[in-house]
């Protein structure tokens, strides 16, 4: 082996690498990290890693600071990842820190290895993408709303009587406008979530109230095919602290999805329960179900798995639903078998305080 080969390899990386011992003293700084921090790695070898990062206090941004985090190696030596910010002059740089235990040949933990990857370019691209989607969506939504309004007026008889053929064609245009507006709204929602721009208006409320509202809003659509709703609840108090509008959006997406895949005259069951930590809601249908190999893809963007009984969709509803539940520190999953229907379950942290009664 070439003498010093491991060090040569680490110095050739584009990512910064830091190795510390069990006492958090610096064992090694590779060349990219020492250049990044503009320090002499020979001077800092053997010194506390925390002292190195503390010396750059003026360059730390207020949020997600680049700071050394002592990680007790004797408590399992887990692998960790976090995103950080670092001020370099007038520019804020985004970093991802990956860390994991270093072990000797016998498997004994001898220290910890940190790797720092520059995410600034990726963050810039994400921001440009989000801005483009937002501008394009807003520019599209305005004319689509005008077109739909004009079609509504013609169908309403404002321009006089229209024959059956024209009414049918206008009905197609009206449905296409609705679908396009839903797609634009879904894309805007998803781009805001991905860009971290969504702001939750948290309040304590009964999850059952949000479910009731969502079911009322979809009742007319369900009744067109004889589909009925059934609500089951094992608890009378189902308080969560969340953004009610967004949770109603989650329930509406799940129930509307169940309507699309339910057979005519079918039944959709919404179940509510709670334990010491979580409030859980599930939406069950008796549709065609989902193949096991497709379950991992069900919450992906633009995924249309299975043949709906009625209507279509943007393929973004479940992706948005998953993102909104995750934003609320909750969890969502699906249980399904082909031919046996599907059951979508989500849970939210249980609220400590009871909901505040609103003035009528």
Percent of the chain with pLDDT over 90: 18
Q: What average pLDDT does range 227-235 have in this prediction?
A: 89
Pairing of strands 26-29, 80-88: unpaired
Q: Name the residue among 187, 181, 18 with its Cα closest to residue 95.
A: 18
Q: Tokens 């069951």 identify what position?
A: 269
Q: What is the pLDDT of residue 307?
A: 55
Tell me the average pLDDT of the chain: 80
Residue 292 or residue 356, greater confidence = 292
Is residue 281 packed enough to be buried (19+ CB in 10 Å), middle (13-18) or exposed (0-12)?
A: buried
- Kindly provide the residue ranges of all beta strands, DSSP E only, lying in 220-294, ordered along the sequence: 228-233, 239-243, 267-274, 278-284
CA–CA dist 137, 145 (Å, integer): 12
Q: Name the residue among 325, 326, 300, 327 with its Cα closest to residue 315.
A: 300
Q: Tokens 């369900």 identify what position?
A: 222
Q: Tokens 């790695």 identify what position?
A: 41
With cut-offs at 50, 70 and 90, classify the pLDDT of residue 50: confident
Q: What average pLDDT does range 253-270 have in this prediction?
A: 90
With cut-offs at 50, 70 and 90, classify the pLDDT of residue 229: very high
Q: Is the pLDDT of residue 276 over 80?
A: yes
Torsion of CA 293, 297, 302, 305, to 10 degrees: 30
Q: Name the residue among 67, 101, 72, 103 with its Cα closest to residue 84.
A: 67
Q: Is the pLDDT of residue 209 over 90?
A: yes
Distance of alpha carbon 183 from its chain centroid, rounded? 18
Q: What average pLDDT does range 59-85 have in this prediction?
A: 56
Q: Name the residue among 268, 269, 259, 254 with its Cα closest to residue 319.
A: 254
pTM exceeds 0.85: no
């Amino acid at each position: 082996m070439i003498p010093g080969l491991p060090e040569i390899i680490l110095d050739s990386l584009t990512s910064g690498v830091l190795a510390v011992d069990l006492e958090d003293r610096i064992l090694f700084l590779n060349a990219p990290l020492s250049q990044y921090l503009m320090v002499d790695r020979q001077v800092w070898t053997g010194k506390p890693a925390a002292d190195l990062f503390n010396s750059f206090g003026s360059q730390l941004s207020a949020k997600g600071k680049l700071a050394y985090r002592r990680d007790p190696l004797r408590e399992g030596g887990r692998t960790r990842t976090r995103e950080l910010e670092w001020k370099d002059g007038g520019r804020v740089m985004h970093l991802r820190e990956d860390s994991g235990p270093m072990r000797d040949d016998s498997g004994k933990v001898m220290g910890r290895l940190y790797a720092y990857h520059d995410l600034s370019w990726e963050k810039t691209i994400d921001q440009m993408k989000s801005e483009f989607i937002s501008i394009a969506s807003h520019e599209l939504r305005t004319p689509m709303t005008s077109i739909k309004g004009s079609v509504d007026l013609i169908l309403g008889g404002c321009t006089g009587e229209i024959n059956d053929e024209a009414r049918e064609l206008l009905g197609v245009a009206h449905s296409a406008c609705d679908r396009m507006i839903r797609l634009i709204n879904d894309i805007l929602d998803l781009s805001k979530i991905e860009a971290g721009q969504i702001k939750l208006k948290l309040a304590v409320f009964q999850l059952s109230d949000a479910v009731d509202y969502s079911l009322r809003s979809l009742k007319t659509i369900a009744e067109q095919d004889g589909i009925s709703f059934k609500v089951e609840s094992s608890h009378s108090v189902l308080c969560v602290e969340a953004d009610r509008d967004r949770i109603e959006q989650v329930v509406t997406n799940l129930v509307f999805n169940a309507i699309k895949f339910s057979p005519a005259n079918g039944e959709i069951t919404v179940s509510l329960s709670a334990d010491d930590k979580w409030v859980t809601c599930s939406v069950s249908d008796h549709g065609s179900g989902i193949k096991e190999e497709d379950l991992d893809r069900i919450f992906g963007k633009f995924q249309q798995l299975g043949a709906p009984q009625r209507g279509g969709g943007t393929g973004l509803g479940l992706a948005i639903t998953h993102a909104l539940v995750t934003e609320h520190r909750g969890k969502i999953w699906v249980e399904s078998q082909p031919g046996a229907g599907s059951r979508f379950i989500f849970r939210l942290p249980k609220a400590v305080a009871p909901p505040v009664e609103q003035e009528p």
